[in-house]
Amino acid sequence: MTKSKVVLVTGVSSGIGRATAARFARQGCVVFGTVRNVQKAQAIAGVELVEMDVREQSSVQRAVQNIVAKAGRIDVLVNNAGGTLVGAVEETSIAEAQALFDTNVFGALRTSQAVLPHMRRQRSGRIVNVSSVLGFLPAPYMGLYSATKHAVEGLSETLDHEVRNFGVRVVLVEPSYTKTNLDLNAPQAASPISAYDADRDLASKAIVRSVQEAPGPDTVAATIVDAALSGWTMRRTPKGEASLLRKLRRFMPAGPVDATLRKNFGLA
């Protein structure tokens, strides 16, 4: 049984998850990274890839059991796997909303519930849930994605209270836009309503522009690793725009925040 921290990161095929798994490995951790298809995934130095789909209960349970059988424990869980969606709330189908919640919210819930019995038994552990600035500052035409991240925030705070006496802590990481393929190629709601076309186009262009100007995933990965391995703080916001937006939300009156948000999305 290894004495190094045993880390499980979900969704490591690309972007933030891949950068995070690689950074944990460079820190000397024993790292398991989940992908939907191991055969199609690119190797990551120092990371053992594990086939797991956060949308399937049996897949999650099987993967966690195999990791514990091999490594003896799980010290850190990073719930990173997720999806996104651009579209007005009215034009987003219930099926699209359910699919997004199934990955972003219930996926994190499934993995947390699978890992927690082991963390409680060992009387230690850290769960890092990757949220977003949209978890506290929702944006137009990102309503359902924002809703999933609000749900993750609420679950995380509640869970931290519930598991604290077992030596387990929960942390939220709240990045802003990050230059990844997920953000650059965000899917659109499948049945657009023409009345929203003009504003949706403005918002979509603003999102793409923000992503193109954003830092790469390494900045967020550094924040995640720090959140996992250093002293506990409920929220970790990467330096730069994410930190600025949290201060904006916290200290500015609602009216100016609303006006600034609409201006940034071209809706003013």
**Span 184-207, average pLDDT:** 92
Whether the pLDDT of residue 91 is over 90: the answer is yes
Identify the top-confidence range among 176-185, 186-195, 253-262.
Answer: 186-195
Written as one letter, the residue type at 204 is S
Which residue's structure tokens are 């403005």? 202
Cβ pair 144, 92 in contact under 8 A: yes
pLDDT computed for residue 258 by the predictor: 87
- pLDDT score of 180: 82
- Given this model, what pLDDT does residue 1 score? 46
In terms of pLDDT, which residue wins out, 176 or 23? 23
Q: Is the pLDDT of residue 240 over 70?
A: no
**pTM, full prediction:** 0.93
**Range scoring the smallest mean pLDDT among 6-15, 76-85, 162-171, 173-182:** 173-182
pLDDT for the residue 243? 67
Q: Which domains occur in the chain, in start order?
A: 6-264 (3.40.50.720)
| Residues noted as catalytic | 13, 131, 145, 149
